[in-house]
C-alpha cells in the first residue's frame, strides 16, 4: 500500500524501511499542517496570491504592513476554511482574529494575524484508509509570511552574510490544521498527510503541493513506554516531502528513545530536519524572548457564519475519498480498507470500477484489474461499459488472463470506449473449446512423463509443476489456453 | 485670514476668486507666522499650488470643483500622503514618502480641498501638548509660551493662527478636542467607524478616529461631510449612508434634552473653577435656546482614564512593532537583523513613545493579559452601558473638554500621569466609540480659550453640530 | 474576580524592553520602572468595580462578517516601495544576518 501513496515528487517507494522501535516503546505523533488556500488574492488585501514570480511584485500597503494600512478579510478564504472544516467533520464556529506578536523580518507588521482562542473550525476527525481515526483539534485561518534568501556563507540562514526579503508570499491565506496526537507510526503520519492532501485538492481548497510549500507539515513527536502517559514532545520543522517527514519522524523517535535509555531527558523544543545529514537539529537559540502577547485584532471583526451559508457550502462538496472508498467497497462487497479499494480511489478509478460493477462485471476481477493493470496513462478514459464487457468476457472464459490484458491495453490505446469483442476477434483470440484444450494438455503430458509422474505422486510440488505445464500448453496453443482451465484439468486428471 | 471655508469655497466655485489666490494668501500667512508657531512639519507649497490650479481649471471648464473648492486644509502628519513625507513627528519615519494616500486625503482632493502642509503632533499622536515631537513643540497662537494641546496641536494651531480654515486631526483619547479647546477652535471626533482610518498611521486601532478642525461649527460640518462615509478598505467602517450634517447646523436645539455629566462638573473629576464657570454658562445658553438641561451621572466614566492607559498602549505596542528598520524609515546598522532592529527602534522612538510601548507590552505579556488588557476591555463595556443609560434620558451630554486652559510649555512634561489627566473628559467617548465635539466657549481667568464638550450616542453628529452652533452663537 | 498584579519590578521592565526590542540605559530603566508603576497604580482604581459578569468590549461597533470579494486590486510599484527601503538588492529588501529561524 505504501508503494502507491502519492509521492509529491519524491518517491517514497525507495524509502528505507523504518527501523522498528525497541520493544516496549511507542511513538506519538501529532501533525500541524499549514495549507495555502486557493484564492486569487491574499487573506487581507487584493494583492495576487501566486507562487513564484519576480520578488516583491504581489505587494500593496497591507501586504507590506505599511503604516496606515488595514486588513479586510477575503470572503473566499473563509469559504475555503468552512469547506475544509466540513470535510474534516469539524464544528464550524464563530471565530475571532488575534495578533501574534513577534519580531521577524519576514513578517511585515512584526505580528501575524491568526485565529487564536476562537478558530473557525473546531473539533473534527479524519478517517485514514486503513480504518484508523485521527482527531482534528482545530483549523484556523492565518496569514503567511514573506521569504528570505540568505546570501553568503552556505546560502543557509546560519553563516549567511546578509539576507534579502521578498514579501510576495506575505499575506497569502493559510489554514493551519492541527491534528490530535493520535498517530503511532511514521507510515500512518504519511498516510494522514496524503489523505488530507487528497481532501484539500478534491474540495478545491488548496493545491496541496508539499514541494512548493503550499502544504507544510510540522510534526510533534514524542515517545513513551507503552502504557505510560505522553512524553515531552519536539516539534520537527522543515519537512518538505512525505519521504523526509517519515525519515524525520523515525529519526526523532529513535533519538528520543536513545536519549532516555541512556539516562537523559527530552527537552521540549523545535528541531529542524536536515535532509543532507538525515538528522533533526536543535533550533538555534533565539535572539529574543518568546512571548507572543496575543490579543484580539482590533482592525478585524468576528466571523459568524450563518447556518444557511454553511449549508450552501456543504451542498457544493464533492464525494470525499473516504466516501468514495465506502461506495466502491459497498458495490464490490469488500471492506473499505481493502488495498485494491484504497488504490482505486487514490488513482481516481473508483467511478470506473463502480460503473463496471454496476454494469454487471465481476467485482473482484474488476478490482484486480484496477489494482494491477490500470496504472497506465489513459486509464481514466476507459468507459465502464467497455471495461465491464471485457471483464465479463474474461470471467466467462472467452478470453484468457493474458488475452484480457492485451485487449485492455488496446482498448485504452484506442481511447477507452472501443468494443472488446471486436478487438479480441481482430487479434484472433478465440477461446479454445474444452475438448481441444484437453487434447492439447494430454499431448503435453505424454511428452513429459517424468514431470507428470511427480505431479501425480506429490501434491506439494504441484504448484511449481503446474507452472511448467501451463507454459508448455501455452506454447502448444500459441497462448490461446486459459491458465486457470489448464490447472483445473491437471488437478482433475491427477485425481485430486 | 479672510473668510470661512464655506465662504471661500462659494467664491471659488462661483469664479469670484481663484483657488490660487486663496492658497497663495494662506501660504503667505504660514510663511509669515509659522516660524514662531511651528504648526507645520512641512508646507507643501508646490503641491498646493498645483492642486489650486487644477481646481481653477475645473471652474474654467464649467465642471463642479467640489464643495471644498480651493479651501486650504492642513493635514496632521500621521495621515499618509503619496510621495509627500509623512513623519508622525518621529525620527523613525523621518523622510518616509508613503506610496499611497489615506482615504481621507483622496476624499479631500476629490472635494477640491487643497493640502497646504503636514502638521506637527506629539510623536505617533502620543501626548496632550505637542511637546513630544521629534521636531520641536508647537506653540499656542493665543500665547506662544503655552502649549496648543495635543496630540493634534499643529492642526489646531494652524486653524487658530489662520494658516488654514480647515485641518484634519486624529483623536484617540481627546487628541482633536483637547487642542481645539486650548486653541479656541472647533474640533469634532466622529463616531468610531464614520471616517475611514485607512492611511491613518495607527496609534490605538480600536480608539482612533480622524476628524475636522475648523474656526466655525458650520465649517467643521462641511469638512466632516466630505470625509465621512463607508470605505471598503477599513473593516470597521460603518456601512450605512447618512444625510449630510451641514444643511441642518443652524436649526437650533428647541426641545433637545442635554445632560451635564455631574462627575465632570463638581464631582471627583471637577475642572478648574474658571472652566466650571464657563461650563455652567454654556448650559444656561442651551437652556435659553430652548433645550432642557439637567445633571446626569455617568459613574463608570471616572474609570475611563485607567482603562485607556492600558488599552491604548497595548494596541500601540503592537501597531508600532513594524517600525523595525527593515522596509522603510530609520535604520541604525548592526551586524545582525535583531540588533539592527533594536538599535533602530531605540534611536528612532522618543521617550513618551517608548514609555507607552513598554506599558502596552507589559499589559499584554504572559500572565498579565487578564489583569490588565482584559480587565480594561470590561471597564469599557461598563462605560458604554452607563452612557447608554444616560442616553435614554438625554439626547446629548455636556462636559468640559479639558480641566484647564492651555498650560505653559514644559509645565507637565516631566510627569506622565499628570499629563494623562488632561484627557480625563475626552477619553470616555473614545472608549465607547461615541462622537464628541469641542466648541470654544469664552475664556478662563488667564484670558485663554475654554472649550466645552458635547457628547452623543453613535451617529449623533448632526444633533451635536446643531447644539454646538447654538453655543458658538451664544459665545459671540 | 481578577486581581491586578503586584507592583512592576525593574527586572520586569528590563524583560519588557527586550520583548519590545528597545535598549534602555540604567537610568532609563529606573525612570520607566517608577513611571510605569505610577500609571499601573492609578489603573488599580478599577479594582473597585465588579467586572465578573461584564463581557470585554473589543470593538465599539458591533459589526460582523465584514468581507471583501476575492478580486485583484493594483499592486504597488516595486521601485517606489524599494526607494523608501533602508537597503535593497535584486528587487528585495536587504537586511543584516538573521540569527535564528522564524519562531
Ligand atoms: Mg503552529
Ligand atoms: Zn500557523
pLDDT at B280: 97
> pLDDT-based confidence at A62, cuts 50/70/90?
very high
- A255-259 mean pLDDT: 95
Determine contact: A103 vs chain B, CB below 8 A: yes
pLDDT at C4: 52
Neighbours of ion ligand 1 (CB under 5 A): A 32
CA–CA gap between residue A410 and residue A112 (Å, rounded): 56
In this predicted structure, the answer to whether residue A389 has a pLDDT above a threshold of 90 is yes
CA–CA gap between residue A267 and residue A397 (Å, rounded): 65
In this predicted structure, the answer to whether residue B319 has a pLDDT above a threshold of 90 is yes
A193: which residues sit within 8 A by CB, 6+ positions away? Answer: A31, A33, A210, A215, A217, A242, A245
pLDDT at A355: 96
Interchain pair A70, B338: CB under 8 A = no
In this predicted structure, the answer to whether residue A205 has a pLDDT above a threshold of 80 is yes
Q: What is the pLDDT of residues B39-62, one digit of tens each?
A: 999 999 999 999 999 999 999 999
Question: Which chains sit next to C, with 3 or more Cβ pairs under 8 A?
Answer: A, B
The residues facing B115 across adjacent strands are B73
Contact between residue B89 and residue B41 where contact means Cβ atoms under 8 Å apart:
yes
- Altogether, the residues listed in chain A come to a count of 496
**CA dihedral of B2, B3, B5, B6, whole degrees rounded to 10:** -150
Determine contact: A55 vs chain B, CB below 8 A: no
Question: Which chains sit next to A, with 3 or more Cβ pairs under 8 A?
Answer: B, C
Which among A295, A298, A301 has CB closest to B369?
Answer: A295
Q: Mind telling me the catalytic residues of B?
A: 76, 151, 175
pLDDT at A15: 34
> pLDDT-based confidence at A476, cuts 50/70/90?
confident
- C56-78 mean pLDDT: 95
Query: Nearest-CA neighbor of B321 among B367, B352, B356?
Result: B356
Question: What cell does B226 get?
Answer: 466630505
To the nearest whole number, what is the mean pLDDT of chain A? Answer: 90
Chain B residues with CB inside 8 Å of A71's CB?
235
CA–CA gap between residue A207 and residue B344 (Å, rounded): 40
Q: What is the pLDDT of residues B121-148, one digit of tens each?
A: 999 999 999 999 999 999 999 999 999 9
Query: Nearest-CA neighbor of B387 among B434, B423, B453, B454?
Result: B434
Question: Mutation test of the interface with chain C: which of A105, A107, A118, A164, choosing the one with the most C Cβ atoms within 10 A?
Answer: A164
Neighbours of ion ligand 2 (CB under 5 A): A 176
Interchain pair B329, C42: CB under 8 A = no
> pLDDT-based confidence at A4, cuts 50/70/90?
very low
- B219-231 mean pLDDT: 98
Query: Nearest-CA neighbor of C39 among B456, A297, B27, B126?
Result: B126
Determine contact: C5 vs chain B, CB below 8 A: yes
In this predicted structure, the answer to whether residue A290 has a pLDDT above a threshold of 90 is no
> pLDDT-based confidence at A13, cuts 50/70/90?
very low
Interchain pair A56, C65: CB under 8 A = no
- C12-23 mean pLDDT: 96
Which among B198, B328, B369 has CB closest to A70?
Answer: B198
Q: What is the pLDDT of residues B6-32, one digit of tens each?
A: 999 999 999 999 999 999 999 999 999
Which among C19, C38, C98 has CB closest to B337?
Answer: C98
To the nearest whole number, what is the mean pLDDT of chain B? Answer: 97
> pLDDT-based confidence at A238, cuts 50/70/90?
confident
Distance (Å) from the C-alpha of residue A264 to the closest C-alpha of chain B? 30
Output the DSSP codes for A348-409: T-HHHHHHHHHTT--HHHHHHHHHHH--STTGGG--HHHHHHHHHHHHTTSS-HHHHHHHHH
CA–CA gap between residue B341 and residue B325 (Å, rounded): 6
Interchain pair C2, B371: CB under 8 A = yes
Chain B residues with CB inside 8 Å of C32's CB?
354-355, 358
Which among A66, A72, A291 has CB closest to B235?
Answer: A72
Distance (Å) from the C-alpha of residue C30 to the closest C-alpha of chain B? 12
Q: In chain C, what percentage of residues exceed pLDDT 70?
A: 95
> pLDDT-based confidence at A284, cuts 50/70/90?
low
More confident residue, A424 or B460: B460
pLDDT at A3: 33
Q: What is the pLDDT of residues B228-252, one digit of tens each?
A: 999 999 999 999 999 999 999 999 9
pLDDT at A496: 57
pLDDT at A29: 98
pLDDT at C53: 92
In this predicted structure, the answer to whether residue A285 has a pLDDT above a threshold of 80 is no
- Cα–ligand 1 centroid distance for A255 (angstroms): 23
Note the maximum CA span of chain C. Answer: 59
Which among B325, B368, B416 has CB closest to C86?
Answer: B325
In this predicted structure, the answer to whether residue A475 has a pLDDT above a threshold of 90 is no
- Cα–ligand 1 centroid distance for A177 (angstroms): 9
Q: What is the pLDDT of residues A390-413, one digit of tens each?
A: 999 988 888 888 889 999 999 999
> pLDDT-based confidence at B1, cuts 50/70/90?
very low
Q: What is the pLDDT of residues B279-298, one digit of tens each?
A: 999 999 999 999 999 999 99
> pLDDT-based confidence at A19, cuts 50/70/90?
low
Distance (Å) from the C-alpha of residue A28 to the closest C-alpha of chain C? 23
B130 Ramachandran zone, left/alpha/beta (phi>0; psi -120 to 50): left
In this predicted structure, the answer to whether residue B346 has a pLDDT above a threshold of 70 is yes
Interchain pair B381, C55: CB under 8 A = yes
Interchain pair A46, C90: CB under 8 A = no
Determine contact: C55 vs chain B, CB below 8 A: yes
- B193-198 mean pLDDT: 98
Q: Is the ipTM reported for this complex over the cut 0.90? A: yes
pLDDT at A289: 57
Q: What is the pLDDT of residues B72-89, one digit of tens each?
A: 999 999 999 999 999 999
Amino acid at each position: 500500500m505504501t508503494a502507491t501513496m502519492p509521492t509529491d515528487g519524491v518517491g517514497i517507494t525507495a524509502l528505507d524501511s523504518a527501523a522498528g522501535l525497541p520493544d516496549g516503546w511507542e511513538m506519538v505523533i501529532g501533525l500541524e499542517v499549514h495549507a495555502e488556500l486557493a484564492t486569487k488574492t491574499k487573506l487581507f488585501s487584493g494583492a495576487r496570491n501566486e507562487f513564484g514570480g519576480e520578488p516583491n511584485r504581489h505587494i500593496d500597503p497591507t501586504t507590506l504592513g505599511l503604516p496606515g494600512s488595514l486588513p479586510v478579510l477575503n470572503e473566499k478564504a473563509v469559504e475555503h476554511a468552512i469547506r475544509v472544516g466540513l470535510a474534516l467533520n469539524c464544528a464550524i464556529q464563530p471565530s475571532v482574529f488575534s495578533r501574534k506578536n513577534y519580531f521577524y523580518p519576514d513578517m511585515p507588521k512584526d505580528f501575524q494575524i491568526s485565529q487564536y482562542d476562537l478558530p473557525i473550525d473546531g473539533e473534527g476527525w479524519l478517517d485514514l484508509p486503513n480504518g484508523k481515526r485521527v482527531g482534528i483539534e482545530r483549523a484556523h485561518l492565518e496569514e503567511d509570511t514573506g521569504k528570505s534568501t540568505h546570501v553568503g556563507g552556505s546560502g543557509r540562514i546560519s553563516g549567511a552574510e546578509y539576507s534579502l526579503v521578498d514579501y510576495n508570499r506575505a499575506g497569502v491565506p493559510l489554514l493551519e490544521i492541527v491534528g490530535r496526537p493520535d498517530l503511532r507510526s511514521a507510515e500512518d503520519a504519511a498516510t494522514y498527510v496524503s489523505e488530507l492532501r487528497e481532501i484539500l485538492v478534491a474540495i478545491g481548497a488548496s493545491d496541496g503541493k508539499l514541494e512548493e510549500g503550499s502544504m507544510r507539515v510540522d510534526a510533534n513527536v514524542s515517545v513513551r513506554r507503552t502504557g505510560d502517559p505522553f512524553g515531552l514532545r519536539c516539534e520537527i520543522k522543515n519537512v518538505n516531502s512525505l519521504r523526509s517527514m517519515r525519515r524525520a519522524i523515525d529519526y526523532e523517535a529513535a533519538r528520543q528513545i536513545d536519549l532516555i535509555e541512556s539516562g537523559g531527558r527530552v527537552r521540549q523544543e523545535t528541531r529542524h530536519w536536515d535532509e543532507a545529514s538525515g538528522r533533526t537539529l536543535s533550533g538555534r537559540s533565539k535572539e529574543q524572548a518568546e512571548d507572543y502577547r496575543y490579543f484580539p485584532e482590533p482592525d478585524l471583526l468576528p466571523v459568524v457564519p450563518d447556518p444557511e451559508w454553511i449549508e450552501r457550502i456543504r451542498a457544493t462538496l464533492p464525494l470525499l475519498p473516504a466516501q468514495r472508498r465506502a461506495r466502491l467497497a459497498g458495490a464490490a462487497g469488500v471492506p473499505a480498507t481493502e488495498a485494491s479499494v484504497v488504490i482505486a480511489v487514490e488513482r481516481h478509478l473508483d467511478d470506473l470500477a463502480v460503473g463496471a460493477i454496476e454494469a454487471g462485471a465481476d467485482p473482484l476481477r474488476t478490482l484486480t484489474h484496477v489494482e494491477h493493470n490500470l496504472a497506465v496513462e489513459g486509464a481514466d478514459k476507459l468507459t465502464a461499459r467497455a471495461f465491464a464487457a471485457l471483464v465479463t468476457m474474461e470471467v466467462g472464459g472467452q478470453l484468457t488472463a493474458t488475452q484480457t490484458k492485451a485487449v485492455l491495453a488496446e482498448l485504452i490505446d484506442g481511447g477507452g470506449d472501443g468494443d472488446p469483442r471486436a478487438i479480441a476477434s481482430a487479434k484472433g483470440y478465440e477461446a479454445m473449446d474444452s475438448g481441444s484444450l484437453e487434447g492439447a494438455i494430454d499431448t503435453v503430458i505424454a511428452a513429459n512423463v517424468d514431470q507428470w509422474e511427480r505431479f501425480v505422486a506429490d501434491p506439494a510440488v504441484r504448484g511449481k509443476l503446474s507452472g511448467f505445464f501451463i507454459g508448455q500448453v501455452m506454447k502448444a496453443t500459441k497462448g490461446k489456453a486459459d491458465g486457470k482451465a489448464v490447472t483445473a484439468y491437471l488437478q482433475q486428471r491427477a485425481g485430486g | 485670514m479672510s473668510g470661512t471655508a464655506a465662504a471661500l469655497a462659494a467664491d471659488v466655485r462661483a469664479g469670484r476668486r481663484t483657488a490660487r489666490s486663496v492658497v497663495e494668501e494662506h501660504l503667505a500667512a504660514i510663511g509669515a507666522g509659522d516660524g514662531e508657531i511651528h504648526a507645520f512639519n512641512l508646507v507643501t507649497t508646490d503641491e498646493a499650488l498645483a492642486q489650486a490650479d487644477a481646481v481653477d481649471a475645473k471652474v474654467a471648464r464649467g465642471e463642479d470643483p467640489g464643495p471644498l473648492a480651493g479651501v486650504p486644509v492642513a493635514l496632521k502628519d500621521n495621515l499618509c500622503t503619496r510621495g509627500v513625507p509623512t513623519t508622525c513627528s518621529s525620527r523613525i519615519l523621518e523622510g518616509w514618502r508613503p506610496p499611497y494616500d489615506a482615504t481621507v486625503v483622496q476624499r479631500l482632493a476629490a472635494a477640491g480641498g487643497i493640502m497646504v502642509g503636514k502638521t506637527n503632533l506629539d510623536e505617533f499622536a502620543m501626548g496632550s501638548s505637542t511637546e513630544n515631537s521629534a521636531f520641536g513643540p508647537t506653540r499656542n497662537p493665543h500665547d506662544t509660551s503655552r502649549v496648543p494641546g495635543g496630540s493634534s496641536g499643529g492642526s489646531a494651531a494652524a486653524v487658530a493662527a489662520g494658516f488654514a480654515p480647515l485641518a484634519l486631526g486624529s483623536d484617540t483619547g481627546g487628541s482633536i478636542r483637547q487642542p481645539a479647546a486650548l486653541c479656541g477652535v472647533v474640533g469634532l471626533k466622529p463616531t468610531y467607524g464614520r471616517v475611514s482610518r485607512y492611511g491613518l498611521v495607527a496609534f490605538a486601532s480600536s480608539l482612533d478616529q480622524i476628524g475636522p478642525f475648523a474656526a466655525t461649527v458650520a465649517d467643521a460640518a462641511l469638512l466632516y461631510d466630505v470625509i465621512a462615509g463607508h470605505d471598503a478598505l477599513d473593516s470597521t467602517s460603518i456601512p450605512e449612508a447618512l444625510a449630510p450634517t451641514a444643511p441642518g447646523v443652524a436649526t437650533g436645539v428647541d426641545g433637545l434634552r442635554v445632560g451635564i455629566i455631574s462627575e465632570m462638573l463638581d464631582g471627583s473629576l471637577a475642572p478648574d473653577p474658571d472652566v466650571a464657570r464657563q461650563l455652567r454658562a454654556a448650559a444656561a445658553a442651551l437652556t435659553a435656546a430652548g433645550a432642557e438641561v439637567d445633571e446626569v451621572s455617568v459613574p463608570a466614566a471616572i474609570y475611563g482614564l485607567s482603562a485607556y492607559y492600558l488599552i491604548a498602549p497595548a494596541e500601540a505596542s503592537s501597531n508600532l512593532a513594524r517600525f523595525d528598520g527593515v522596509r522603510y524609515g530609520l535604520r541604525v546598522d548592526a551586524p545582525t537583523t535583531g540588533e539592527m532592529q533594536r538599535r533602530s527602534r531605540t534611536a528612532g522612538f522618543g521617550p513618551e513613545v517608548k514609555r507607552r510601548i513598554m506599558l502596552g507590552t507589559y499589559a499584554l505579556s504572559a500572565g498579565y493579559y487578564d489583569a490588565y488588557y482584559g480587565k480594561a476591555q470590561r471597564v469599557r463595556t461598563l462605560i458604554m452601558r452607563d452612557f447608554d443609560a444616560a442616553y435614554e434620558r438625554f439626547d446629548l451630554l455636556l462636559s468640559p473638554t479639558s480641566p484647564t486652559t492651555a498650560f505653559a510649555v514644559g509645565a507637565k512634561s516631566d510627569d506622565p500621569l499628570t499629563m494623562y489627566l488632561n484627557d480625563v473628559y475626552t477619553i470616555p467617548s473614545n472608549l465607547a466609540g461615541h462622537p464628541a465635539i469641542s466648541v470654544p466657549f469664552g475664556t478662563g481667568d488667564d484670558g485663554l480659550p475654554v472649550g466645552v464638550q458635547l457628547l452623543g450616542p453613535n451617529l449623533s453628529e448632526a444633533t451635536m453640530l446643531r447644539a454646538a452652533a447654538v453655543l458658538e452663537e451664544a459665545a459671540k | 474576580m481578577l486581581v491586578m498584579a503586584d507592583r512592576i519590578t525593574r527586572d520586569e521592565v528590563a524583560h519588557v524592553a527586550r520583548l519590545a526590542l528597545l535598549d534602555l540605559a540604567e537610568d532609563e530603566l529606573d525612570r520607566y520602572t517608577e513611571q510605569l508603576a505610577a500609571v499601573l497604580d492609578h489603573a488599580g482604581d478599577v479594582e473597585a468595580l465588579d467586572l465578573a459578569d461584564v463581557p470585554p468590549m473589543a470593538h465599539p461597533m458591533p459589526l460582523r462578517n465584514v468581507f471583501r470579494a476575492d478580486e485583484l486590486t493594483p499592486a504597488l510599484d516595486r521601485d517606489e516601495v524599494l526607494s523608501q527601503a533602508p537597503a535593497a538588492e535584486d528587487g528585495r529588501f536587504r537586511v543584516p544576518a538573521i540569527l535564528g529561524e522564524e519562531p
